[in-house]
Amino acid sequence: NLQILLKRRPVGAPVPEDFDIVETPIPEPGEGQVLVRARFLSLDPYMRGRMADVKSYAKPVALGAVMEGQTAGEVVASRHAGFAPGDTVLGGFGWQRFSVVGPERLFKVPATDPPLSASLGVLGMPGLTAWTGLEDIGQPKAGETVVVSAASGAVGQVVGQIAKLRGAKVVGVAGGAKKCDFVVKELGFDACLDHHGDLDAQLDAAVPEGIDVYWENVGGKTQAAVFPRLRDFGRMVMCGMIAQYNEAPGADAAGAPPGPNLGPIVRKRLRVQGFIVSDTGWSRYGTFRAEAEGWIRSGKLRWREDVVDGLANAPRAFIGLLKGENFGKLVVRVD
């Protein structure tokens, strides 16, 4: 079994030497368990958090343990009545070719149409994140203005398209002309702003009316430019702040750089709320998936993947994700 382990905890940006690649025997499923062979591994920003030994909503990966992650693949052996060899499933575990998993959070999904890898992106955790965050917090309405950061990425793509389906004006923020072109021409956002340029001037031109919903994926200077433009009763959906993930632990405590003046939250009656998709998302996965598959069938929901070949290339691809090198949902095709 090819596995990628956490060798040491990164200081700042992760480097290839933080990982170990090993071959181990293929595990046997126990009673009630299933052996899954991964075809695709999802790489996601939250994995940077799991590499650090800090208190969070989930436990860190132990040193020497397999890196955490979700895979989609096929059942090769089953000791659970609900699954048979040959079933394609979402919910395999870890940066490894074979994993033994229990039935909880194991979903049978089609092998093709939509392609299996979509179950890790538009129809998987990132899509579910977009859907639940908009349902519960963002709640965009027809005629409102929504701004989405990391707009070409796994979560951002879906956020913007759902907000359009709800009748909002949608403006993305992304890194570079190629990503912005895709966001407008392929995904149908009303505009996309390049955060490498002068974001304030671009926001002045694109959203002179102000912003009703800001979907926060990034933090940093994008947040600083957007926050003052929120309108009365605006909502800020705090999904992630990837620009800060390589900062030292404790950077969100004393000694952190000064943030925006939070006074407007009161004056403008803003709602600023964080959420974690796993809290309530997976119990609603069926509802989300049915709605999203409907949109895909009618051509209203599109997506882009960035597929990297070979499990051994996962560390390098993950390091690139934290620098914006991916273009679309990042997945590894497991050889």
Selected from 36, 168, 301, 322, the binder of ligand NDP by CB under 6 A is: 322
Pick the closer one to ligand NDP by CB: 154 or 171.
154
Cβ nearer to ligand NDP, comparing 75 with 242:
242
* CA 47 – CA 52 distance, rounded (Å): 9
Q: What are phi and psi of 90, to 5 degrees?
A: -105, 135
Residues 91-130 that bind ligand NDP (CB under 6 A): 126, 129
Please say which residue, 66 or 322, places its beta carbon nearer to ligand NDP.
322
332 binds ligand NDP (CB under 6 A): no
Is residue 148 involved in binding ligand NDP (CB under 6 A)? no
Is residue 68 a contact point for ligand NDP (CB under 6 A)? no
Bridge partners of residue 100, in order along the sequence:
35
- Where residue 328 falls (left for φ over 0; alpha for ψ -120 to 50; beta otherwise) is left
Per CB under 6 A, the segment of 72-80, 216-224, 256-264, 308-316 that binds ligand NDP is 216-224
100-104 long-range contacts, CB within 8 A, separation 24+: 100/27, 100/28, 100/29, 100/30, 100/33, 100/34, 100/35, 100/36, 101/33, 101/34, 101/36, 102/32, 102/33, 102/34, 103/32, 103/34
* Angle at the Cα of 169 from the Cα atoms of 128 and 123, rounded to 5 degrees: 15
Residues between 179 and 208 that touch ligand NDP (CB under 6 A): 179, 195
Distances (CA, A) of 10 to 22, 54, 247: 19, 12, 10
10 binds ligand NDP (CB under 6 A): no
Nearer to ligand NDP by Cβ, of 29 and 156: the residue is 156
Q: Which stretch, 71-79, 96-104, 270-278, 291-299, contacts ligand NDP (CB under 6 A)? A: 270-278
* Of the candidate residues 5, 240, 315, 334, the single one contacting ligand NDP (CB under 6 A): 240
How far the first Cα of the chain sits from its last, in Å, is: 11
Distances (CA, A) of 146 to 166, 173, 206: 11, 11, 11
Segment near ligand NDP (CB under 6 A); pick from 28-36, 43-51, 260-268, 311-319: 43-51
Residue nearest to ligand NDP (CB): 153
**Stretch of residues binding ligand NDP (CB under 6 A), selected from 77-85, 262-270, 273-281, 297-305:** 273-281
**Both tokens assigned to 301:** 């929901």
Binding characters for ligand NDP, 275-304, by CB under 6 A (x = yes): xxx---------------------------
Helix or strand or coil: residue 256? coil
Residue placing its CB nearer to ligand NDP in the complex, 87 or 306? 306
**How far apart, in whole angstroms, are the C-alpha atoms of residue 144 and residue 135?**
15
CB-nearer residue toward ligand NDP: 75 or 277: 277
CA–CA gap between residue 334 and residue 157 (Å, rounded) = 24
DSSP letter for 120, please.
Answer: G
Q: Which residues bind ligand NDP (CB under 6 A)?
A: 44-46, 126, 129, 150, 152-156, 174-175, 179, 195, 217-218, 220, 239-243, 275-277, 321-324, 326, 329
